[in-house]
A and B are shown apart, each in its own frame.
Chain A
Amino acid sequence: MTLFRRTVLGALAALPLAALPLTASAQETIVLGEVNSYTRLPAFLEPYKKGWELAVEQINAEGGVLGKQLEVISRDDTGDPATAIRIAEELVSKDGAVLIFGTFLSNIGLAVADFAKQKQVLFLASEPLSDALVWSSGNKYTYRLRPSTHMQAAMLAEQAAKLDAVTWATVAPNYAYGQDAVEAFKRELTKLKPDVEFVEEQWPPVFKIDAGSTVRALEQSKPDAIYNVTFGGDLAKFVREGSLRYLFEDRDVVSLLTGEPEYLDPLGNETPEGWIVTGYPSMAIDTEAHDAFETAYMEKWGEKPKTGSIVGYNSILSIKAALEKAGATDTEALLQAMEGLEVPSSPTGPFMFRAADHQSTMGAYVGKTGLVDGEPAMIDWFYADGADYLPSEEEAAKLRPAE
């Protein structure tokens, strides 16, 4: 019934040109604008939405922030950067949002970041992984929460360097994310172990992998180890065709993001054993902060939290910390607060936003894939603090364009 009610209320609230501004409530609430590709990538964004909804509910139950309730206006960008820009504009100029957060796809993240710079509004990029967002295209108004492509690739390179493998083959989806991930891994691994050799690379189109042929091409180069960046449907296909063709026999596989429940769970009992991955072991984490989060999440949504849930939840925690530090909701105060902002406690532990490059130090979990009681899981994992995998603040500042 709530679904029906939400639909009807949504329909009423959204009648287009009945632009009665909701100024009545503006006194008691702080409006946050959120934009994401909900219909394009529902598998990853439903947990994310559940995560931030939980955080907002908890914060409001405790009396809100600065004595006001938080209100998130969330919109679907349909996976199109141009639509995302239009929505961001509406959130800021019509709905009175004090900042924008969200986005998943890197190109939409970049488009909204550029918009934030032009319109001078704070943008917290929750999910996009692109290095460009905080480095080559970084700007004063954009911060990013999730550990970036570079950070996660560096975490894996550190583990990969401990292996005996010398010849490597890579497989990555053919777009910016895949290219960045392969480049970062090559760079970091060569730094740690100069004698490695990359003998083959495959670039299947994203979500359209011809897995059989790709597996054959990798096999032909007879590498000691494989670095995989494919995810989602491509990953399932790759794993299935690869194991059918014995590609993973006696071979190390290092795989980006594969330990995230969004990607790992669908593999079911075909989950490959012993892949070194970054991800999120969810229920297995036993810290006090995580247990509290986990219990509340399970209670509200009846399912275990996924990576997106954590990202959504931590986004709101970051925003709350920023608002409290700023003591105000205007952009200048918020920007000042974001510089070096510390989030003392979160389900994944404390993290901060670096002043030099606007990247958070939120980390990721590194471990191996395996089956626990027939269910896919991460084993032998540890938490890799993001701060350890970032270039120093001085170096990072040089990667950014001059303001």
Chain B
Amino acid sequence: MGFYLAQLLTGLANASSLFLIASGLSIIFGVTRIVNFAHGSFYMVGAYMSYTLVTLWSGSILGYWGGVILAAAAVGLIGLVIEMTILRRIYRAPELFQLVATFGVVLIFQDLTQAVWGAEDLLGPRAPGLDSAVRIFGEPIPEYDLALIAIGPAVLLAIWLVFHRTRWGVLVRAATQDREMVGALGVNQAWLFSAAFVLGAFLAGLGGALQIPREAVSLQMDLSIIGEAFVVVVIGGMGSVTGAFVAAVLISVLNAFAILIFPQVSIVLPFVVMAVVLIVRPYGLFGKPGSEHGAPVEPEQPLTLMGQKGLMVMIAAVFVLALSPLAVADFTTILLVDVMVATLFAVSLHFMMGVGGMVSFGHAAYFGVGAYAAAMGVKYFGLGMVPSMALAPFCAAAAALFFGWFCVRLSGVYLAMLTLAAAQILWGVTFQWQDFTGGDDGILGVWPAQWASSDRVYFYIAFVLCIGGIWLLRRAAHSPFGYTLRGVRDSRTRAEAIGVDTRFHQWMGFTLAGTLAGLAGVVFAFSKGSVFPDTLGIALSIDGLIMVLLGGIHALAGPIYGAVAFVMIEDWVTRLDYWRFIFGAIILVVVLLAPDGIAGGVHRLVRMIRGGKA
């Protein structure tokens, strides 16, 4: 009895930590619609600042809690600066574009934090007065855990009071439901957004600061918390603080008990719970069906077929690419294969997001299935390179067909998060099922057949498959199927009214995108000679997302610009010290100069030059 109570209390203490960071994320999303990747960075910086302050004033109770509050306030201030200098300028950009900016911020903070506090983990002091355990039913329970269990609900109550008893809070809730209407009523949206962002950043900083007595402050804190924080927000319902609390308790307590029975479960548990919740309740536990709308929806420009000049430029570019191995060094052809793989991956994701209107946070799943299927074909089933290459995209298609069936039942960010859950579950299985997939030691020795092993020959194989795949997706976008898909994206109701089976079209669009991502994975596997679970991981999904958004989601050429720029810049910049800072800064500059993505920027540039001539 005492044991289970103790386990429950441990779970609740974890829940409070998780709730603090998730609540801030939820508030920021609810009001500003920003999917804030930098939230983990706020959490980490809060922890580092509080480490410094708490160590400085160590020993005194006032010093400890003062340090925690001050650190959180400082993070709130950082949030304000970021909101005012960066995010405020791009609220009118296409949906989710702000995510790219927050990704840049994450990179910058990783290097800044390392430069300021050093690489070594830092273990702060325990909280004065709460530094030991008390016995409850004979079981030792840390006093600090009890404090956390009290702090979580207290913060929830405080947020509730602010939202229900102050005018500002009422406005925030109104903005969460319909921010255009709030704007129409004469409320200064800019300040409302800033304040919500500051509150969110403050809560993240507080969450990080309160971790000092529990864990060593490290540079991994930002990325290790962000995934789980998103999961909690989505399970609770985006924008619902109460939902975030319930979800945090659910996840943490489940985990505390699940590891008693099945210790390996922690790596996928949150994602399994999220998948189940989303399948049963498509808007999370406390989310409302309407609550994802209200973002400024610009009517998208219809896609136009390329003009004659544009077509010639493109053919010329492909032609140059085809001839490039004759002119450049062997190494460059390998880099070009990487560029082509990334481009096909980004174009397939763009087909799903831009043409199909379905955002995916887990597109790497199909890339990885393709790569693994090819690797297993060669290693376990003794197939040659060509049969494996032919077969693997169908495995990716099967996976996309299966997960897509569930995903297309949702919409918006919830759909995106379900794709993420699917990818994480696949990743977890691959990671854990060592006998079949090799676990994180991966599958080695997946090299091209003898006749294709030279860099140049493999370049042409990759060229044919990738350019062919890109052409196929382009063709599909301009086909009746593509037109229908875009119709569904722009107005599901109208599409249904003219007799389109909207879900079926989206499902097939999802599957087609997944298949082509699988093809990219196949080309990738043979070019690297080995596959690892990273090919299904969040990092790759996010890279793809950044490529598509950075390139410009409204143009078919967008993902091509995005992927080429991303891979080339990364290849160049990682040679430098502090490359994450530089990379992040480059991303921010692009974001601020071209809120419509690189494609939009190029388009405006071309028009300007033409205008200048005329």
Report A's interface with B, CB cutoff 8 A. Answer: 3, 6-7, 10-11, 13-17, 19, 39, 42-43, 46, 75-76, 78, 80-83, 85-86, 89-90, 93-94, 106-107, 110-111, 113-115, 117-118, 130, 132, 137, 174-176, 179, 201-205, 207-208, 210-214, 216-217, 220, 232-233, 236-237, 240-241, 244-246, 262, 265-268, 270
A246 touches which of B133, B215, B219 (Cβ 8 Å): B133
Q: Does B578 contact A (CB under 8 A)?
A: yes
- In the bound assembly, the distance between CA atoms of A114 and B214 in angstroms comes to 41
Contact status A7-B576, CB under 8 Å: yes
Using Cβ atoms and an 8 Å threshold, which residues of chain A touch B256? Answer: 210, 212-213, 216
Using Cβ atoms and an 8 Å threshold, which residues of chain B touch A42? Answer: 114, 119, 219
Contact status B123-A268, CB under 8 Å: yes
Among B276-284, B315-323, B324-332, the stretch in contact with A? B324-332
Contact status B534-A245, CB under 8 Å: no
A257 to chain B, nearest CB (A): 14
- In the bound assembly, the distance between CA atoms of A130 and B444 in angstroms comes to 14
Query: Chain B binding site: helix, strand, loop or mixed by DSSP?
Result: helix
Q: Does B298 contact A (CB under 8 A)?
A: no
Contact status A233-B133, CB under 8 Å: no
Contact status A216-B7, CB under 8 Å: yes
Candidate in A106, A117, A207, A213 with the most chain B CB atoms within 10 angstroms: A213
Report B's interface with A, CB cutoff 8 A. Answer: 3, 6-7, 10-11, 13-14, 110, 114, 119-123, 126, 132-133, 140, 142, 145, 213-216, 218-221, 224, 252, 255-256, 259-260, 263-264, 266-267, 328-332, 334-335, 338, 431-432, 434, 439-442, 444-445, 447, 453, 524, 528-530, 532, 534-535, 539, 568, 570-572, 574-580
A155 to chain B, nearest CB (A): 23
Residue of A nearest to B6 (CB): A216
- In the bound assembly, the distance between CA atoms of A43 and B117 in angstroms comes to 11
Given the interface pairs A176-B441, A213-B256, A217-B263, the reply to whether A266 lies near B121 with Cβ below 8 Å is yes
Contact status B215-A240, CB under 8 Å: yes
B292 to chain A, nearest CB (A): 29
Using Cβ atoms and an 8 Å threshold, which residues of chain A touch B122? Answer: 266
B532 touches which of A13, A16, A107, A212 (Cβ 8 Å): A107
Contact status A241-B216, CB under 8 Å: no
Candidate in A46, A115, A205 with the most chain B CB atoms within 10 angstroms: A205
Using Cβ atoms and an 8 Å threshold, which residues of chain A touch B575? Answer: 10, 13-14, 75-76
Residue of A nearest to B577 (CB): A7
Using Cβ atoms and an 8 Å threshold, which residues of chain A touch B126? Answer: 240
Contact status B132-A80, CB under 8 Å: no
- Interface contacts beyond A75-B574, A241-B214, A246-B140: sample of 9 additional A-B pairs, CB < 8 Å, sorted by A: A7-B576, A19-B328, A19-B332, A106-B441, A132-B441, A205-B267, A213-B7, A232-B121, A240-B213
Interface Cβ pair total, 8 Å cutoff: 205
B540 to chain A, nearest CB (A): 9
- In the bound assembly, the distance between CA atoms of A200 and B13 in angstroms comes to 24
Using Cβ atoms and an 8 Å threshold, which residues of chain B touch A202? Answer: 259, 263
Q: Which 7 A-B pairs have the closest CB atoms?
A: A42-B119, A236-B216, A14-B575, A212-B10, A213-B256, A266-B121, A114-B444
Residue of A nearest to B268 (CB): A205
Contact status A212-B14, CB under 8 Å: yes
- In the bound assembly, the distance between CA atoms of A85 and B535 in angstroms comes to 14
Using Cβ atoms and an 8 Å threshold, which residues of chain A touch B576? Answer: 7, 10-11, 14
Given the interface pairs A81-B530, A114-B530, A175-B440, the reply to whether A94 lies near B255 with Cβ below 8 Å is no
Contact status A220-B579, CB under 8 Å: no
Contact status B7-A89, CB under 8 Å: no
Using Cβ atoms and an 8 Å threshold, which residues of chain B touch A213? Answer: 7, 10-11, 14, 255-256, 259
Contact status B532-A111, CB under 8 Å: yes
Identify 17 residue pairs between A and B in the complex whose beta-carbon atoms are under 8 Å apart, listed by A's number: A19-B328, A76-B574, A81-B442, A85-B528, A90-B335, A93-B331, A107-B441, A110-B441, A115-B529, A117-B445, A176-B434, A204-B259, A208-B266, A211-B215, A237-B214, A246-B133, A266-B120
Using Cβ atoms and an 8 Å threshold, which residues of chain B touch A81? Answer: 442, 528, 530, 532, 534
Contact status B260-A90, CB under 8 Å: no
- In the bound assembly, the distance between CA atoms of A13 and B575 in angstroms comes to 9
Contact status B442-A245, CB under 8 Å: no
Given the interface pairs A76-B574, A78-B574, A244-B132, the reply to whether A94 lies near B434 with Cβ below 8 Å is no
Contact status A86-B6, CB under 8 Å: no
Residue of B nearest to A39 (CB): B580
Contact status A89-B216, CB under 8 Å: no
Residue of B nearest to A45 (CB): B119
Using Cβ atoms and an 8 Å threshold, which residues of chain B touch A245? Answer: 133, 140, 142
Given the interface pairs A118-B529, A207-B220, A240-B214, the reply to whether A93 lies near B10 with Cβ below 8 Å is no
Contact status B119-A43, CB under 8 Å: yes
Using Cβ atoms and an 8 Å threshold, which residues of chain A touch B432? Answer: 174
Using Cβ atoms and an 8 Å threshold, which residues of chain B touch A76? Answer: 574-575, 579
Contact status A85-B266, CB under 8 Å: no
- In the bound assembly, the distance between CA atoms of A267 and B255 in angstroms comes to 26
- In the bound assembly, the distance between CA atoms of A113 and B445 in angstroms comes to 10
Contact status A236-B119, CB under 8 Å: no
Contact status B266-A210, CB under 8 Å: yes
- In the bound assembly, the distance between CA atoms of A176 and B435 in angstroms comes to 12
A325 to chain B, nearest CB (A): 29
A376 to chain B, nearest CB (A): 10
Using Cβ atoms and an 8 Å threshold, which residues of chain A touch B571? Answer: 16, 86
- In the bound assembly, the distance between CA atoms of A80 and B214 in angstroms comes to 30
Residue of B nearest to A80 (CB): B534
Residue of A nearest to B448 (CB): A118
- In the bound assembly, the distance between CA atoms of A179 and B264 in angstroms comes to 11
Using Cβ atoms and an 8 Å threshold, which residues of chain B touch A267? Answer: 123
Contact status B577-A10, CB under 8 Å: yes
A260 to chain B, nearest CB (A): 12
- In the bound assembly, the distance between CA atoms of A3 and B581 in angstroms comes to 15
